[in-house]
Structure 1
Amino acid sequence: MNVNLLIIDPQNDFCDILGAALPVTGADEDMKRLAAFIAGHGSALSSITVTLDSHASVAVERTTFWAAHDGGEVPPFTIITLDSLRNGEYIPRDCSLLPSVTAMLEKLEQLGRHQLIAWPVHCVTGTWGHNIHTALSQQLNAWEFARQCPVTRVLKGQYPLSEHYGVFEAEVPHEDEEATKFNERLATDLLRNTDLLLIAGEASSHCVAASVEQLLGYARGKNLRLPRMVLLRDCMSAVTGFDAAERGFFERAGAQGVERLTANEAAELLD
């Protein structure tokens, strides 16, 4: 049986540990459980893919990009709408980017995707916050050594003028930015010859949800056979205040046959 494990953004900045920029309550224990799962059952895993939220310190989805109408700072978790931009309530600190940002927000609203949130600065590429949770990183290294096979690590979010929750595609793909377009190779690699796809990571309300729904949409659009898909429900948590978004995701995924099991329950599938 071919079993693939997809781990979404298991990074320090998302874990509720000292120094994290955007801690998700429960994420530290989530990652420890996931590490224990790999330690105990890694020999049954055909592949492991890890996605990494990877940003500059200034980008459209973070507070450092925006100024209030009086030039002051924009608080974390502020929602930036097209109307608030047009009304001058919030403006890019680099005014030359106004046309590009306006076009992006117009497209975002047309697509009906997540509203743009000014998040705290997090997962800046190359920093401690960008690194994989220590306990999990150790087990990934051990798995690579035992299998003599590399973990696939995929960066997302490098383009500074679009949010990038799902690993496969930015919220608003840009014609001239390949990294924002749908990553068909990654989707194909995860689905091809796979019997069981296990999914874990942070956060279930945002990046896990977007990644899974992008993959389901791709498979549906291409009329591809889906493997058995299982969310490791005790290896993911929602961003505080976004429990409703998590519940909505679980309902939509469940309606398409995606299961939710604990890591221990999923381990029984590997015997």
Structure 2
Amino acid sequence: MSPQVVQQLPIPAHFDRAKVGEVWRVPYQQRAIEAEVWANQNGIRPAADDRFRVCLLAIDVQNTFCIPEFELFVGGRSGRGAIDDNGNLCEFIYRNLGQITEIAPTMDTHRAMQIFHPIFWVNAVGEHPIPTATMITLDDVKAGVWKVNPAVAYSLGNYESLQSHALHYTQQLTDNGKYPLTVWAYHSMLGGIGHALVSAVEEAMFFHCIARGSQTSFEIKGDNPLTENYSVLRPEVMNGLDGMVIAHKNSRLIQKLLNFDAVIIAGQAKSHCVAWTIDDLLTEIQAIDPSLAKKVYLLEDCTSPVVVPGVIDFSDQADQAFQRFAEAGMHLVQSTEPMSEWLLK
């Protein structure tokens, strides 16, 4: 089934781009009433009527990554990365609301005691690693530069087993060509404000849900304490030292995405959770039918890489990954371009 040429819609009056970088309460009932009126005025049909089905996969568009004063703000090289990205994303959703069948936001979800948080590790004098500035390598674990904090064993299991897992885990990352284990600041904490979607994006998704009669499909990731989960489709390491499964590939979501006629991907961060998710999706596609890559569209102006000035800059790695995705058949597109036009290419 081919897409139809559809005019872009006007942006609803309630949207204020200047507030995208702020946290506030969405007035749900008011927006619900407005969404139904707006849908009627613009001739928006229910998502169930879509013959060409489009999914927007919005990766980790949460306060923790997207609001400057929060824990892991993705500023990119401009310093405003996620703010500008989310302004573009909101406008994209509103302009193309009649063509987006379903929105699936992923939610990075953590507790304090996880393998990538400071409390999990200690050095010889009992100090925790400095978040973001510390990468724990296989050699570090072998040499005892960093060891599992004995205190976490009370909640996470036997200490000797945890220490063995740490060695196995960093070995697996090395063998599989993954990034070294990065110790991140506490972020996306379950139950905290940082875990929530950015208010303006949440509002746009809620408006879409009501206007199109399409339930927003939330995807939780990252809550396993013994592995990282940059990609929503699979964790960094799935098996423990004994070969037992510690986490699973998200086969349900993979199949769901492949059942759509088009999948549009945006979110944070381009160098990590976005790139890893796309890479895993591409792996699945190439195992089934490489031509399916052409149904995937990457919103380049709705994602930014991790950049910590003077510390780390993953911009080049992110761009190289996106170029590889394009060479595999995926489309690099801009949110400001009419969606119908690039779907028809």
TM-score tier, shorter chain, comes to: over 0.9
Which SS does the other structure have where 1:264 is aligned? Answer: coil
1:111 corresponds to which letter in structure 2? N
Say whether 1:222 aligns with 2:277. no
Return closer, same or farther for 1:116/1:147 CA change in 2, 3 Å cut-off: same
Which SS does the other structure have where 1:219 is aligned? Answer: helix
CA distance in 1, matches of 2:119, 2:330: 37
Aligned pairs for 1:1-271 (under 5 A) are 1-18=52-69, 20-25=70-75, 26-77=81-132, 78-94=134-150, 96=159, 97-174=162-239, 175-177=244-246, 180-192=247-259, 194-223=260-289, 225-226=291-292, 227-240=294-307, 241-269=313-341
1:86 corresponds to which letter in structure 2? K
1:125 corresponds to which letter in structure 2? L
Which SS does the other structure have where 1:42 is aligned? Answer: coil
Structure 1 stretches of at least 4 aligned residues deviating more than 2 Å after TM superposition: 174-177, 222-225, 266-271
TM-score (normalised: structure 2): 0.74
CA distance in 2, matches of 1:266, 1:122: 35
Alignment size in residue pairs: 267
CA distance in 1, matches of 2:230, 2:179: 9
Greater mean deviation of Cα atoms: 126-135 or 180-189: 180-189
Return closer, same or farther for 1:222/1:211 CA change in 2, 3 Å cut-off: same
C-alpha displacement of 1:198:
0.8
Identity of aligned residues (%): 31
Partners of 2:138 and 2:167 within 8 A in 1: yes
Larger radius of gyration: 2
Greater mean deviation of Cα atoms: 203-212 or 142-151: 142-151
2:56 corresponds to which letter in structure 1? L
RMSD: 1.6
2:143 corresponds to which letter in structure 1? N
2:187 corresponds to which letter in structure 1? H
CA distance in 1, matches of 2:163, 2:338: 48
1:248 corresponds to which letter in structure 2? Q
TM-score (normalised: structure 1): 0.93
Which SS does the other structure have where 2:337 is aligned? Answer: helix
Unaligned runs of 5+ in 2: 1-51, 76-80, 154-158, 308-312
Could you list the per-position Cα deviations for residues 229-266 of structure 1 after superposition, in whole angstroms to 9, with x for gaps in the alignment?
11111110000011122122112111101121110115
C-alpha displacement of 1:267:
2.6
Unaligned runs of 5+ in 1: none
CA distance in 2, matches of 1:126, 1:9: 15
Could you list the per-position Cα deviations for residues 101-146 of structure 1 after superposition, in whole angstroms to 9, with x for gaps in the alignment?
1111122222222211001111011211010011000011111111
